[in-house]
Amino acid sequence: MITIASLAGWLMQAPAVLSPPMTAPPREWDLAGVFVLKQEHFLTWSPMIDLSRPFRGFEYQLQPMWALELTPKHRRLDSFSAALLSAPAMGAGVGLVQPKLQYRVRGTEVRVGVQTAVLSFFTSAMRGAGKVMRPMAFVSGKF
């Protein structure tokens, strides 16, 4: 009984739609036959916390993301890429950017790499101040 009640409580907190709505297809450019530049806009579920009511915990919201990825076209290096993700942060005048270095495992959609987060503050009190978070490893893709 407790397991069913816990599962019901967890499902009530989950987003109503588990997959984000359709977004525009990615755009690609060939840079002189040496690199491929890919730009993508999409929506993703992100945990957000209301700073005025932190006791309520995290709530999940659809957040727009902008991604830019640079991949070499050389056959020995085409599994490596540098990416830049940008998302709106929690408050006005705050920017969030995530640079990544990643490796795509051949024959799969799995990516392994290192990323960090850079917070930038653009307010009258803090002109151009920023903070770089500690880099961390990640694994992403379809499993």
Q: What sign does the CA torsion over 50, 54, 59, 62 have? A: positive
Mean pLDDT of all residues in 67-78: 91
Q: Which residue has the higher pLDDT, 140 or 127?
A: 140
Whose tokens are 């036959």? That residue is 33
Does the global pTM surpass 0.85? Answer: no
Looking at every residue in the chain, the average pLDDT score rounds to 76
**Residue 82: is its pLDDT beyond 60?**
yes
Q: What sign does the CA torsion over 72, 64, 44, 129 have? A: positive
Of the listed ranges 27-31, 50-54, 100-104, the least confidently predicted one is: 50-54
Q: Quick one: how many helices (H) and strands (E) in the chain?
A: 1, 9
Q: Which residue has the higher pLDDT, 79 or 17?
A: 79
